[in-house]
Amino acid sequence: MLIKHSRRKKKPEGYTDESPRRSRIITGKELDELEELNIKLETLVGLLSEKGVISNREYASNVAMRLHEISKAKSFEELDEEI
């Protein structure tokens, strides 16, 4: 009495060889530069946080302060140009 183990994966319910899913190839959406840069930065911050190099809370606080500083500086530059 031999027991055969099938190494084939079980096909999903409703799957046929003529299924449109078989012929359709799904590719990723093209990311623009800003989206790609954002993802890279999020990944880097996540890795640094996991390694204990930086604190997510401290990073978020520093980024918020820096964005506020730059925003104010640009606003003053625009006001200065108008005057």
Predicted confidence pLDDT, tens digits, the chain (83 residues): 455 555 666 666 655 555 555 556 667 888 899 999 999 999 999 999 999 999 989 999 999 999 999 999 999 998 888 88
Number of structural domains in the chain: 1
Q: Which amino acid is at 56?
A: N
Rounded to 10 degrees, the C-alpha dihedral 56/61/67/72 comes to 180
Residue 59: domain span: 55-83
- Is residue 9 included in any domain, yes or no? no
Distance separating alpha carbons of residues 22 and 15, to the nearest angstrom = 9
| Domain-embedded: residue 72 | yes
Q: What is the pTM of this model?
A: 0.54
d(CA 30, CA 47): 24
